[in-house]
Chain A
Amino acid sequence: MKRRDVMKGGLVLLATTTLASIYKPAYSRTYVGGTGMWKAAPPPPLSVVDPTRLVYLTPQEARLVGAVFDILIPADELGMGATEAGCVTFLDHQLAGPYGSAAKDYRLGPVVEGLPQQGPQGIMTPAEMYRTGLAELEHAAHAEFNKSFLDLSEEQKITFLKGVEGGTISFDTLKSDQFFVLMLQNVREGYLADPMYGGNRDMVGWKLVGFPGAIYDYRDWIVSKRGKKIDVHPVSLLGRA
């Protein structure tokens, strides 16, 4: 270590102690064996999504995506539809967080379209894709039917969304089929993720398939219930929400 670097840093170096033991970077840590100072930080506390207000989507966007979601997962005798189950609330909060801003993605350039097996190369974030994609979807509905997607009959909505899924109804600024894949993934997430995230109301998605949630110990059942139906009320992070 050079003394002038220390002086520039505004620190006074005492004796020959290493600077590492004086200088404390924001996250980097030094743990010395045998000192017992190695308790980890606990995971962040659970926070339950507030369904009463929108945090990213506009009210118009929320209505539109809700109408799409209710076609993808409709209400029927097997359970409530996507919007009633909270999937729009789920999506809204996801888009407002690190998922929406693609905070974990590698986003440096150059951005080049590659071969399909090289995976998605676009750097548009999910939040941006919804903002653009929903406007495009509404625009395409007007072009096709001369009315809002919201005002189409159920049959028309299904036909239209099949066109979006297959890419025959195309968008200008993003690929319609990719936007469809994103919406389908997100609505499933909302319907099947823990209710803490705003969707899966009354654990409707879990009850649909018989998923019991996070049960800690199956040792009593791994043999006794092998190949047999298990009737149990599912458990969520919110308890029996």
Chain B
Amino acid sequence: MNYKRPKADVVIIGLGWSGSTMAEELTRAGLNVVAIERGAWRETSTSFPTTRDPDELSGSVRKEILQAPVTETYTVRNKVGQTALPLRKYHNLTLGNNVGGAGTHWAGASWRWLPFDHQPHTHVMQRYGAGQLVDGLILQDWGVTYDDLEPFYDRFEKIAGTSGTAGVINGQRQPGGNPFEGSRSGPFPTPALERSRANVLFTQAATRLGYNPFPVPSAMIGAPYTNALGLNLAPCTYCGYCQLYGCGNWSKSSPNICILPVLMQRTNFTLVTECEVLRINTTPDKKMATGVTFIDSDGNTGEQPADIVITATFTLDNTRLMLLSGISTPYDVASGQGVVGRAFTFQTLSWAFMFFENEYMNPFMNTGALATQIDDFNGDNFDHTGLGFIGGAGIQSLSNQGLPIGMAGLLPKGSPQWGKGWKQAFQRGYQNYAQIQGQGTSFAHREQFLDLDPTYKDRYGRPLLRITFDYNENDRRSGRFIRDRCVEIAREMGATEVGGDSFADRPYSGYTPWDSSHVQGGVTMGEDPRTSVQNRYQQNWDIPNLFVIGASSFPNNAGYNPTVVVGATTLWTAKAIIDQYIRNPGPLVRL
């Protein structure tokens, strides 16, 4: 049975961080908004009650909070010519499956990106020239700069209650913060949390080596705080159940605690849950979007007409929805033409894994983003002349895991993985393990892209999204360089055993342990319709009432986590819709 809902001013697909941030702005401006979400409703105090302990098996191991591959998955291959195969089991892309999206279960690292990361092309050409780029690398500016985004970064941090220590305020260096960060208009809303034992050892070692350690900005609230929407957030208690868990303590920024309690009071807001949008509808000439078609839990098809369509699903699903809806030109790897699915990026991880003697790391006292970092080798904060690559990584001591099943295989070199020897090694390793992550940049490449799989289908018979990705030469060079820096610091920390790894030295896999969940691009924003799907306001170049928001808009990935940038660019787009588009519907950028 098919049905049609009453027309809305705006339909938003997906109610994670970007969707709920957008919905709050637009409903406050008086627009009638309907959000359609594939997952179920989640309300903090009932869904994640503090009266019930979290447990590792259901959370981190069985991953019950995540979207399951049976619901939707992706196919992966490393290069053209290979057959892409589906990710059949839970993989590294930790997808949300509820109202709040991945924002409910995320780890919480809360970064503004560097000015460089928003204008990499301009910076690299000015400092090094095109000779610095490896063959096939795609480098382009976003069309929006750090300075454009600063007020929106500030606003989003004040919604999220972000904790941290500022490094630069109004151009003035601040003690203890990141000296390389873009200038801030004010301090973080809440102070940085206390450091772990591993963080302290890292800080001492990095300082001795002449680097500039600082606390990683975090979604774990540093002090009681009333956010920009009037909601009360509570200080984090370091319980250690952040990533893959909802926080019932009102201590981890999420749409569920920072936005939804306000949004759900607005009579001009309607939320439709457990309905999956199948396609964006357009006029026959594809000049305007007319709404969306969705399928409900009983298999009925519904239509939601709207004057504005905003797609706010996960990065990969934003791209897939564009391809399934036949909107804008798909990227063609052979010719290099087309835009949807182009400029897909991942994250280039390097690590130092280390063991100490007779330590008490007490790894269970942690948060998902309890980390101390140096940015001395991130972005373009160091001279790349002669290095043969661009970018780098945030290098951090990361204290985010202390749950025993997940640590049962983390043993000093040569230890048996079972038997009596395993018990002894695990007992020693558990308290003596520490890690340094190099969370590296990822730049787009001509041969990294997304398109529809020719073979595998979802539960409704629609093609799955196909990922064609392998690390490029820039990743391999930067990854090894960063790995060596991680290892140097680990040795300086006094670890008795240090192992280094650069994931880019092996083919990309969706199952590499300790790998990232960050993917970007596919529906990029930019300055030129030949190389981007959307203009600087995340407005489709062809269809002015269609906005695709989220990390799918980013043409490159930084040596950071993406969430706060998603929030800031969403607020930037919301303002453009409210102040410009509503008054004068049409393209916000005219070429």
Contacts and interface: CB of A to CB of B under 8 A. Distances in A.
Nearest to A214: B53
A231 to B, nearest CB: 11
Nearest to A40: B43
Contacts of B62: 99
Given A26-B298, A33-B265, A43-B47, A106 B2 contact: no
B265 A34 contact: yes
A136 B259 CA distance: 54
B426 A107 contact: no
Interface in B45-89: 46-47, 49-50, 52-57, 61-63, 68-70, 73, 76-78, 82-83, 85-89
Given A78-B427, A120-B89, A108 B297 contact: no
Interface in B121-158: none
Contact of A209 (B43, B427, B509): B427
A210 interface: yes
Interface stretch (A1-9, A59-67, A139-147): A1-9
A218 B457 CA distance: 46
Q: How large is the interface on B (under 10, 10 to 19, 20 to 34, 35 or more residues)?
A: 35 or more
A188 interface: yes
Contact of B405 (A5, A8, A108, A188): A188
B90 A104 contact: yes
Contacts of B235: 219
A52 interface: no
B401 to A, nearest CB: 11
Nearest to A187: B418
B423 A76 contact: yes
Interface residues of A, number: 87
Nearest to B69: A106
B360 A230 contact: yes
A227 B360 contact: yes
B163 to A, nearest CB: 14
Interface in B227-248: 235, 237-241
Given A18-B5, A31-B41, A193-B55, A210 B431 contact: yes
A153 interface: no
Contact of B267 (A2, A32, A42, A43): A32
B324 to A, nearest CB: 17
B419 interface: yes
Nearest to B238: A218
From B62, B85, B266, B267, name the one whose CB has the most chain A CB atoms within 10 angstroms. Answer: B85
Interface of B: 1-6, 27, 40-43, 46-47, 49-50, 52-57, 61-63, 68-70, 73, 76-78, 82-83, 85-91, 193-197, 200, 235, 237-241, 263-275, 296-298, 300, 302, 359-362, 364-365, 402-405, 407-408, 417-420, 422-424, 426-427, 430-431, 455-457, 506-511
Interface of A: 1-2, 5-6, 8-9, 18-20, 23, 25-34, 38-43, 46, 71-74, 76, 78-79, 99, 103-108, 110, 112, 114-121, 123, 158, 184, 188-189, 192-194, 196-197, 205-206, 208-219, 221-223, 225-230, 235-237
21 contacts: A25-B297, A28-B272, A28-B274, A34-B266, A40-B41, A71-B419, A73-B418, A74-B420, A78-B423, A79-B423, A104-B68, A106-B70, A106-B87, A108-B457, A118-B77, A118-B510, A119-B511, A184-B418, A214-B241, A218-B365, A227-B200
